[in-house]
Structure 1
Amino acid sequence: MDPRRLALIRSGTDERPRRVGSGYLITPRLVLTARHVLEDRATGLPWPAITVRIGHHNYGETTLVAAELLWQHPDGRDVALLRIHRDLDLSGAVRWGRPTGTAPLPYQGLGYPLSAKGDTRDPENLRGELPPLSGATDRYVLDQGPSPVPRTDDKNSWGGASGAAIFCGDRLVGVVTQEVHSYGARRLIALPARAFAQDDDFVSHLVEHAGTPPELGTVGAPPPEAAPAAERTPAERELERLLDPLFPDRASRIDHARDLARELDYETDGYEPTTADLVALLKAHPRALASLGEAPARSATGSVRAAWTHLFARARAIAHGSLLSADEYESLLGLLTRVREEQPRLLPGAAPEALPYAVLPESLTRPHLGEDDLRAAIHGLEELSDSESVPEGTPPVPALLRLVEYVASSAVDRLGDELRAWSSATADRLGVHAGALSERRADAAHWAKRRISPVTRVVMELERDTATAEERYRCRILLAREDGSHSVLKEAESASKTPQEAARSLGEAVATARQEPGQGDHVPWVTVVVDRSGLDLAVDEWEPGEPDDILLAWPIGAEYRVSLSCPDLPVDKTVRELDQERRWKRGRSAALTTSRTCGDRRQLRHLLETEHRDTAQVVLHGPADQRKSWLMICLALGVPVVLWDRDAAGYEDADRLGSLAPGGGLDALPERVREFRSHSAAHPGERRARPSLVWEPDDRHPKTESLHLRDPWRGTHAS
């Protein structure tokens, strides 16, 4: 980039300029700019008067000259050529380029943005990174380093920079055309030179004025270089120490570094890095370290092999780089994509079985995984260990490898063999002990042979987040199975949920349960586990989404059999469980409906300990201010089923629960309550009861622990 070729362009009428933009002198008479710099916004036609000031104040006097529009792109692309009215013969020639590869390239340019305007238009040195993988085929994204504050009026902070030539290295690669407002004035868009430099008329104009056509040479990003020694972090210095014995001679280090840089799409001509430069290269890409050691680690023996294993383990400990190399990642993504297409339920089903105590990535808690979900799952699992024992002196088995073994154990055709081969090769590169991997493989085989027990209930544990004034809850969701086992679908996360978000998560869990083998098409039973204060919650009225044009918002209690459970009370837990067991065995056909004759709470306790000692169901009618204490007595004495109208004021509202037939057919009661709630949702104008139902299951709850209200440690047990 030659600052002497910078152009300040003004277009408008003879009376005054109306638009300001930037440009670049590419031949003694031709200035490259953006087409819209020259146009009247109202008509779309070029302004009749154009002046150009060529030069930069640091390089002597600037030159003001009139100009005319010579060429604009025939397909309407935002680029144009101006012909100035006199020759400005500067030494050198413009070289044209086309970025290649995937690594971000540093760029620079010169322009006259509105944000740099003082008494006059001052030039601004544009500079930042051009990421070739961002943007579309007809545009370059420019991530600007120094950037102005976004304007609050209708003007662009970068207004006036349009038309600025963008250089990567010494080659002109594009022309600035837009500002991206959603990035807060930190991102610009450029039209690539390859989009216009091959146009026949453009080429003919350059041949006429410069003698040669524009030839687009490829431009690659230079590899990163190390910072001065005093500025390197302790982690960088540690990696230098670990790398030195692995590349004892300079030639070996340079060869491996060049191969890696080339794989990462950097320009490698003349690249002769020091060990510190190699560390800078490893920092530039999360998979670089694993890719560097992929081949040499597998072929190494003895102390060198041990050094590679130690390097991979320390890199993970100091959070430097990803677990997998680029090739390992792409191979696994391809294999799991085939699994997702052929057995869509296998991966999300295997994850909680393979890693029952790990905090799984959110994407693995959904019944179906999209391609982005699959990528997110791999990235999340790369950070975890499976936390089981390994032979002393060997690294832990990554959780990702354990899950791959479980998926392989149930994969169809040859997919299982390919997944196991991938797992073995990756474990070998990492230095994982063969015996440790064999144990995980045996666990996976045992899981694959085990009969999958049907899901009996979806259990959602709720705990109020007292750290916020809003109504938000910690949420943990499990699938309780017929054989007494359970699997965790959603753990308590650092971010609590609104009722709507909790209901949405519950819907996803129910969808997962419905897809399990042998589930059938029955209405799912949802048990909501709460503490004493949570018994007042109208969870059954929570709605998972906003109304849409097809389906109205619908409460979860109208869609599922929703009942409450309060397993933790300040009473002897063993005695309470024995009481519940006795009442379930002996009192299914009995019910106690409270009335004025029941008296107060002392008399209610008397009834439940004498003539209703084995009764399994209580229907609570009575004063609203006493109902909570009566409920606590019922639960403390092991009554497993309690029904009440949370909107009732007193005994006079008892008839509102009449259609539920609360005294008969206990097993069908949850479904009658669901149908009642569905009718209420369909007829919101009717004054009906708002039934709450506690149902303590007779098959015991899954063993759960208290929900965590703080962020769990990465990779630690959370259940």
Structure 2
Amino acid sequence: MDQARLALIRGGTEDETRSTGSGYLIGPRLVLTARHVLVNRETGEPWPTIRVRIGHFEHGPARSVAAELLWTPQDDLDVALLRVDHTADIPGAVTWGRPTGRVPLPYQGLGYPKAATTGTRAVETLGGVLSPLSGNGRYYVLDQRAAPVAATDGTNAWGGASGAAVFCRGTLVGVVAQEPEAYGARRLLAVPAHSFVEDPGFLHHLAEHACAVSDLVAIGVPAPRAEPGAERTPAERALESLLLPLFADPGSRAAYARELAGDLGYETGDYHPTTADLVALLRSHPRAHAALGQALAPRAADPAFRARLTAFLTQARTLGQGPLLSPDEFDELLRLLGEIGREQSALLPQAARDALPYAVLPAALDRPTIDDGELAATIEALEELSDGEGVPEGSPPVPALLRLVEYVAATAEGEQRHGLRAWSTRTADRIGIHGDALAERRMDAARWAERRRNSLVSRVVMELEHDGTGDGDRYRCRILLVRSDGTHRVLKGPESEPKTPQEAASALADAVSAARQEPGRYDHVPWVTVVVDEHGLHLAVDEWEAGAPEDVLPPSPIGADYQVSLSCPEFDRIVADRGQDQERRWKKGRTAVAVTGPSCSDARKLMHLLRTEHRDTARVVLHGPADQRRSWLKVCLALGVPVVLWDRDATGYEDADRLGELAPSGALDGLAERVRVFRSRTAAHPEERRARPSLVWEPEGSHPRTELLHLRDPWRGTHAS
């Protein structure tokens, strides 16, 4: 990298600079930069005025010259060539390179980011590591050592660094093009040089300006070497002593070390490692010790060697020598779980919560579904968890990740199940997990999958609690999936920030999406029970709207999309016999209906009716003035009436006909769906004056209870303290 070739680029009009970027002089008159620096984003046309300042303050005052856009690729690569009006005196030629292997490479560059502005744009050094395995192939991922504070005006902190040349070991490998917002200025993206240096148009302009283009230089990282003996740490010496018994022959040790270094992406041309060098290799790459264990696994049929290998792997993990899986194991698991996740995005979070109920799970598994892009980081986090003590005594603890894989496999079918179980078996054998321990996990998983198939999801439950600590209409929210046997699974805990009605409705929509992936649900309209306290019975929860996806569809109230009913278990604590009364009414009074009329003028008269001729009635329809309906509703719920319907907008008995379209005295089994269809029609025709029905529906049986666990006690350290 030559500081004298640094360029500051400004584009805009004669009167105003509209865009600022960086560049690098690759020929006496040619500047390489990012295309978006040179064009008006609104029109896509090049700026009419482009000025370039070439040079670095270390070499004296820089000269500002005019420039014109000379070349951009025909595809959408974000690179460009400028031709400047001044010929620079720059010795030598640019060497172009291409990172190879798997090992992250140090990189550097120079640019003019906005964060470095002190009155005028100042030079900032770019530096960090470039991982050849990260990204999507169209960009290099640059992880920055220095990360400026995000800009407060909505612009990128690294804005202005676009177009900066990126160098690895003295070769130009790419051009900075983007700053991903999700990484808080800690990461940049660069267009790889290999994607444009062979473009015919690019080569033509370089030849026209007498600029030679070198062949792309493959850039790798040499295998690490050990420090002198006196500088090695106690941990390194401990690993060295555990490695020696694994290699009786120094020649085999060197062969394994060279092969391992090559597999990890290091250069091994002149690599003749000692045991200490092998330790340095194991400590330099996070997955090296697991990869070595995988390479040595075929020799583990010998019990004595198996014991030595297990001791090495266990001690390496204890010393913090990287994650559980080798690169090959990680890549294969990512592929297998990715295939299942794309078909059933809710399965992995479901299995994780049931397989690891005491573990502190990664954040991505605390949501109803997991995105494909979150899977790699989630696997990495799960590698750190242990599941339980070994079986039998003394064998290594079973990783939580293996239990989870067995749960997912038990639910999968065909080749997916076979692939996951084969992966689990190989990984357990490599780590030294006793066969009985893995068999126990597989049996647990089979029982869980059987319960899951036989106990279908009956409804989604959203528990709401009004948050009185802050301003505005906000609620603490917990969402559960309840099965037909009464067990439940938490999809959304209440530990997050209180939610607005729209945020709660959006969280519910995510949960319903997960519920629809459960066995036996298919395209059924979900039943959503909203659990509230006495005051919450008068909320218009069914009218809450989730945000429409990308504004493709207009927002819709949740009561139009799902069968939404209310539940108020708070009365169970107030009235001791309520549960028994409710059970009796469900058994004996499903077809009976009580409708309040003018003769039922106060709460005492309604209580009398519900204790005599309507003692077993399961359904009450409330007509009448709003103030009386509130007291009548309390009476109904206290006496165990499980189904109560009313129009929360009704002002008196004269509005009773507004509920007629719902057939409130019709078949009970279809009432919730009739209410949903009515709410949907109301949302479609808001200009019509229609009822706003509220429906309490206390489910038959008990409220959700914690699912029975058939799992071992957690190993110390895996549960939340």
* TM-score calculated relative to the size of structure 1: 0.74
- CA 1:620 to 1:323, structure 2 compared with 1: closer, same or farther past 3 Å? farther
Q: What is residue 436 of structure 1 aligned with on the other side?
A: 437
For the residue of structure 2 that corresponds to 1:130, the secondary structure is: strand
Q: 1:657 aligns with which of 651, 656, 659?
A: 659
Kept in 1, the 8 Å contact 2:23–2:33? The answer is no
Q: What whole-Å deviation, never above 9, does each CA across 1:483-512 have from its counterpart, x for those lacking one?
A: x25452614254355434444454455455
Q: 1:477 aligns with which of 464, 480, 484?
A: 480
2:615 partner letter: R
1:243 partner letter: L
Kept in 2, the 8 Å contact 1:34–1:162? The answer is no
Q: What is residue 702 of structure 2 aligned with on the other side?
A: 700
Q: 2:640 aligns with which of 638, 641, 645?
A: 638
Q: What whole-Å deviation, never above 9, does each CA across 1:352-382 have from its counterpart, x for those lacking one?
A: 6656777777877999877546656645654
Q: What is residue 34 of structure 1 aligned with on the other side?
A: 32
Q: What is residue 99 of structure 2 aligned with on the other side?
A: 99
- CA 1:56 to 1:387, structure 2 compared with 1: closer, same or farther past 3 Å? same
1:328 aligns with 2:354: no
How far apart, CA to CA, are the structure 1 residues paired with 2:605 and 2:581? Answer: 19
Greater Cα offset, 265-274 or 622-631: 265-274
For the residue of structure 2 that corresponds to 1:680, the secondary structure is: helix
Kept in 2, the 8 Å contact 1:139–1:192? The answer is no
Q: What is residue 424 of structure 2 aligned with on the other side?
A: 423
For the residue of structure 1 that corresponds to 2:694, the secondary structure is: strand
Q: What whole-Å deviation, never above 9, does each CA across 1:649-682 have from its counterpart, x for those lacking one?
A: 4555444334444345434433333333233223
- CA 1:52 to 1:609, structure 2 compared with 1: closer, same or farther past 3 Å? closer
CA shift, 1:288, in A, is 4.4
How far apart, CA to CA, are the structure 2 residues paired with 1:55 and 1:45? Answer: 27
Q: How does 1:92-171 map to 2 (within 5 A)?
A: 95-110=95-110, 124-133=124-133, 142=142, 144-146=144-146, 166-171=166-171
Query: How many residue pairs end up in the alignment?
Result: 685
How far apart, CA to CA, are the structure 2 residues paired with 1:256 and 1:10? Answer: 51
How far apart, CA to CA, are the structure 1 residues paired with 2:205 and 2:475? Answer: 62
For the residue of structure 2 that corresponds to 1:569, the secondary structure is: helix
Kept in 2, the 8 Å contact 1:112–1:160? The answer is yes
- CA 1:435 to 1:261, structure 2 compared with 1: closer, same or farther past 3 Å? same
Greater Cα offset, 44-53 or 689-698: 44-53
Q: What is residue 710 of structure 2 aligned with on the other side?
A: none
Kept in 1, the 8 Å contact 2:5–2:54? The answer is no
Kept in 1, the 8 Å contact 2:99–2:218? The answer is yes
How far apart, CA to CA, are the structure 2 residues paired with 1:151 and 1:342? Answer: 39
2:219 partner letter: V
Q: What is residue 592 of structure 1 aligned with on the other side?
A: 594
CA shift, 1:478, in A, is 0.9
- CA 1:678 to 1:117, structure 2 compared with 1: closer, same or farther past 3 Å? closer
How far apart, CA to CA, are the structure 2 residues paired with 1:407 and 1:353? Answer: 11
Q: What whole-Å deviation, never above 9, does each CA across 1:533-591 have from its counterpart, x for those lacking one?
A: 33222222223343988754332323333222222435377632221122223333433
1:526 aligns with 2:528: yes
Q: What is residue 293 of structure 2 aligned with on the other side?
A: 293
- CA 1:275 to 1:405, structure 2 compared with 1: closer, same or farther past 3 Å? same
CA shift, 1:171, in A, is 2.9
Q: What is residue 311 of structure 1 aligned with on the other side?
A: 315
How far apart, CA to CA, are the structure 2 residues paired with 1:154 and 1:345? Answer: 34
Kept in 2, the 8 Å contact 1:254–1:272? The answer is yes
Q: How does 1:197-596 map to 2 (within 5 A)?
A: 214-221=214-221, 240=236, 243-248=239-244, 259-267=259-267, 287-296=287-296, 299=299, 301=305, 304-311=308-315, 314=318, 321-336=322-337, 371-372=372-373, 375=376, 378-379=379-380, 381-382=382-383, 384-385=385-386, 390-409=391-410, 411-413=412-414, 415-446=416-447, 452-453=453-454, 455=456, 457-464=458-465, 466=467, 468-469=470-471, 470-481=473-484, 484-488=485-489, 490-492=491-493, 494-495=495-496, 497-510=499-512, 513=515, 523-546=525-548, 551-569=553-571, 571=573, 575-596=577-598
CA shift, 1:424, in A, is 1.5
Kept in 1, the 8 Å contact 2:33–2:165? The answer is no
- CA 1:494 to 1:103, structure 2 compared with 1: closer, same or farther past 3 Å? farther
For the residue of structure 1 that corresponds to 2:97, the secondary structure is: strand
CA shift, 1:517, in A, is 5.5
Kept in 1, the 8 Å contact 2:488–2:704? The answer is no
For the residue of structure 1 that corresponds to 2:463, the secondary structure is: strand
2:170 partner letter: D
How far apart, CA to CA, are the structure 2 residues paired with 1:222 and 1:24? Answer: 28
For the residue of structure 1 that corresponds to 2:479, the secondary structure is: strand
- CA 1:238 to 1:672, structure 2 compared with 1: closer, same or farther past 3 Å? farther
Kept in 1, the 8 Å contact 2:158–2:179? The answer is no
1:33 partner letter: V
For the residue of structure 2 that corresponds to 1:34, the secondary structure is: strand
Greater Cα offset, 422-431 or 403-412: 403-412
1:640 partner letter: P
- CA 1:158 to 1:690, structure 2 compared with 1: closer, same or farther past 3 Å? closer
How far apart, CA to CA, are the structure 2 residues paired with 1:366 and 1:667? Answer: 32
Kept in 2, the 8 Å contact 1:33–1:162? The answer is no
Q: What is residue 709 of structure 1 aligned with on the other side?
A: none
For the residue of structure 1 that corresponds to 2:705, the secondary structure is: coil
Kept in 2, the 8 Å contact 1:531–1:566? The answer is yes
Q: 2:683 aligns with which of 681, 684, 693?
A: 681
For the residue of structure 1 that corresponds to 2:436, the secondary structure is: helix
Kept in 2, the 8 Å contact 1:527–1:564? The answer is yes
Greater Cα offset, 623-632 or 365-374: 365-374
- CA 1:599 to 1:331, structure 2 compared with 1: closer, same or farther past 3 Å? same
Identity of aligned residues (%): 50
Kept in 1, the 8 Å contact 2:281–2:288? The answer is yes
Kept in 1, the 8 Å contact 2:462–2:508? The answer is no
CA shift, 1:437, in A, is 1.2
- CA 1:273 to 1:147, structure 2 compared with 1: closer, same or farther past 3 Å? farther
Q: What whole-Å deviation, never above 9, does each CA across 1:440-463 have from its counterpart, x for those lacking one?
A: 223344556679336362131313
* TM-score calculated relative to the size of structure 2: 0.74
Q: What is residue 607 of structure 2 aligned with on the other side?
A: 605
For the residue of structure 2 that corresponds to 1:167, the secondary structure is: strand
- CA 1:68 to 1:677, structure 2 compared with 1: closer, same or farther past 3 Å? closer
Which blocks of at least 5 consecutive residues in structure 1 are unaligned?
706-712
Kept in 2, the 8 Å contact 1:247–1:253? The answer is no
Q: What whole-Å deviation, never above 9, does each CA across 1:375-406 have from its counterpart, x for those lacking one?
A: 56645654555569854434443343234334
1:499 partner letter: P
2:239 partner letter: L
How far apart, CA to CA, are the structure 1 residues paired with 2:560 and 2:69? Answer: 68
Greater Cα offset, 637-646 or 379-388: 379-388
1:632 partner letter: K
For the residue of structure 1 that corresponds to 2:582, the secondary structure is: helix
How far apart, CA to CA, are the structure 1 residues paired with 2:550 and 2:508? Answer: 19
1:455 partner letter: L
- CA 1:303 to 1:104, structure 2 compared with 1: closer, same or farther past 3 Å? closer
How far apart, CA to CA, are the structure 2 residues paired with 1:451 and 1:41? Answer: 57
1:562 partner letter: V
Q: What whole-Å deviation, never above 9, does each CA across 1:93-134 have from its counterpart, x for those lacking one?
A: 765433223443222345677876879987654433334456
How far apart, CA to CA, are the structure 2 residues paired with 1:507 and 1:156? Answer: 33
